[in-house]
Structures are given as C-alpha cells and as structure tokens.
Amino acid sequence: MSRVRWFLLAFLLAAPAAAQPPRLQQAFQKDFIMRFYGAFLEPGLGAVPAVPGDELENAVLTWTGPAEGRLDFSEWRQKGWAEFKTSPDRKTLTAIRTNLEAEPGKPMDVWRMRHGYRFDPARGYTWVSLEDAPPVLDAAAGAVYDRFLTAVWKLWPARRLREMLKAAGNTLDVSADPGQLEQPVRLTYDRGGLVGTPTLEFHYRYWHIPVRVRFTLRPKQPTHDDPWIIGLKGPIAFSIDKDEWRRRHGCRQGFAGAALDADFPDPAFPIRDAAPRLEEMLETGTGYWAEAAVSIIMSSLDTQLKEAVAALPAPTDRPAFLSLQRQAAAAR
C-alpha cells in the first residue's frame, strides 16, 4: 500500500465521528396533573395514616327522652343514625338500633358499594366492576357480607356512644372531606404522544387507611373506537394495611385464626369460616377503587397530553432539515 494511502487511512481512523443529525421529532418534558375527585376515598390526604378514633368522622348526640336518644354520625363518609337507650343515669348503653337495621334499602346499597359489591333484586349479588357485565358474586357469600357489614356499621356508633356517655360529651367533628387529588407528575412527550413508559404512584384512603397505588403508562395509537393516546402497561399494583382493615371491621387475625372483637354486635357470626371470604372482599373492594381511580386519572392525563401535543410547533420540513445537515457538515 502506498504511503499516501496509509496516510489517508490513518487520518480517517483518527478523525472524530461525524455528529448525529438533529432529530426530526424533538421530545419535551412537562409537569402534568394526576387529578381525580373521590369524596370518601380522600385522595387529598394521600399517605396520611389512619389513627384510632377516626372511624367516625363526626357524631352528634341528641337526647329524646330521660334515657333514650339519637346519634347522628358519619362512618367512612356515609351519613347514618342510631337510636339508643341507656340506664336511668345515662351512663350505660343498653340498646341500639341503626338506620341499616331500620331502613336497609339505599344505606345498605351504599355500604355494600363501599366494600366492592352490590345487590340487585333482578340480578342478585355481583362484584362492582368497570366492565359492562360485572362478575357474579355467590349468593351465599353476599349474604355473609351483608350480615357482617351490618354488624360493622353498628360497631363504631356503639363504641362512640359508650365513650360519649362516659365522658358526658355530645359532639365529635373531624376535618372536612379532603376528596381532591392534584398531584403533579413529569412526563416526556413529542408529536407522537407519550415517550417512554413512566410508572406513576398515588394514594387513596379506604376508610381512612392509605392505599398505595402504582401503575405504568405506555404510548398507544388512537383508534375510532378507542381515541386514547395512552394505555396501561401491565396490571395495577396496590397495597393496604390488612391488619388495620380488620381492626376497623371488628376482627383480627392471629396464630389461632380469625376472631371477633369482644363487643362485636353479632357475636355468633362465623368468623373463622367466613375469614377467606372476607379476605376476598378486602382484595376485591380495594382493587376496584384503585382501578376506578386510575381510570379517572388516565382520562385526565390523556386529555392534558393531547392538548400539549396539539400545542407543539409544526415539525421541520425535509428541505429545511437537509439544509441544517449541510450547515452542520460545513462547520466541521
């Protein structure tokens, strides 16, 4: 090989690599808002822990006779009432009947919905679902849930009444409903929509118990039937303090198995036999509200992302792009 060729080869090997041409489609970053309103899910409180004593948000006692009265209360952001009787000195609770026992219609429907299932006289019991045809819930399981939750509804008003009678108090008021989530999240996007597969996290509260929810977004192409430009990548993950859930429902899980609290309003409830069904209700109910919240959040993010993409400047046309390439080459 001639000396000139060796020189040229050495020059080419030593020369720095040519700069990559600028991208036709530039990516941008922006803070979007994870937003949804869910009054009794309290997303505005995020991961604030539950504390004993907040099982009822408010309770007001009104005496209607020498040894009888009415307690108006809110339990997991659902209004209710209880008529009660006491000893002559108004110090000992002797009887109590709640609105779920007196008027089980709509209040019980709402209480079921809170826990992830519903009952329709024509269709029977079903799990709540975002699907058009919700999964069927076994009638025997639905009856067990109804019995258990009716007793749970009575448990906390009865406990609060005993405290109020003992302390001679008549009111309780907890903070107003923090039901709005407004959480910023930074996303990368270009004219094609979302860039990457970001994982997002937020909390809602299930009867004041923080539920941590994680989900991953992916870009997708819109269609006539599905105009969204974002979708889910993989399942939604959620976690909750199960021991606290059991405590609020008047039961516990120990080495000897499931057991009811001593003052549970239905002491004959078959807790050991029902424990697996109650665990299923816990998982299904928590998962449904996580899925519903993610659906609302994604709908809002999809709208915000479409608006951000539409606001981008027009892409550089091909001749102008080639001109930039030539300018960059001439500058080297």
Q: How many CA atoms lie within 13 A of 118 on its CB side?
A: 14
Residue 285 and residue 146 share a domain: no
CB of 199 closer than 8 Å to CB of 315: no
Helix (H/G/I), strand (E/B), else coil: 142: helix
Domain limits at 304? 28-50+177-310
Residue 154 and residue 196 share a domain: no
Answer whether residue 204 shows pLDDT above 60.
yes
- Is 297 part of any domain? yes
Q: How far apart are CA 183 and CA 217, in angstroms?
A: 16
Which stretches of the chain are assigned E, i.e. beta strand?
28-37, 56-65, 68-75, 78-86, 93-98, 117-120, 124-127, 171-173, 180-190, 193-194, 199-206, 209-219, 230-232, 237-240, 251-254, 257-260
pLDDT at residue 195, as a whole number: 95
Choose the final residue of a domain: 123, 148, 173. 173
Q: How far apart are CA 221 and CA 193, in angstroms?
A: 9
Residue 306 and residue 181 share a domain: yes
- Is 328 part of any domain? no
CB of 212 closer than 8 Å to CB of 201: yes
pLDDT at residue 196, as a whole number: 96
For 27-67, the pLDDT digits (tens) are 899 999 999 998 889 998 888 899 888 999 999 999 999 99
pLDDT at residue 308, as a whole number: 94
Residue 229 and residue 153 share a domain: no
Give how many domains the chain has, as a whole number. 2
Q: Taking the model in full, what pTM does it have?
A: 0.82
CB of 190 closer than 8 Å to CB of 25: yes
Residue 79 and residue 200 share a domain: no
Q: How far apart are CA 20 and CA 17, in angstroms?
A: 9
Helix (H/G/I), strand (E/B), else coil: 190: strand
- Is 104 part of any domain? yes
For 209-267, the pLDDT digits (tens) are 999 999 999 999 999 889 999 999 999 999 999 999 999 999 999 888 999 999 999 99
- Is 182 part of any domain? yes
Q: How many CA atoms lie within 13 A of 320 on its CB side?
A: 6
- Is 325 part of any domain? no
The answer to whether the Cα torsion of 172, 173, 179, 181 is positive or negative is negative
Choose the final residue of a domain: 144, 173, 202. 173
CB of 181 closer than 8 Å to CB of 34: yes
Residue 45 and residue 134 share a domain: no
Residue 245 and residue 120 share a domain: no
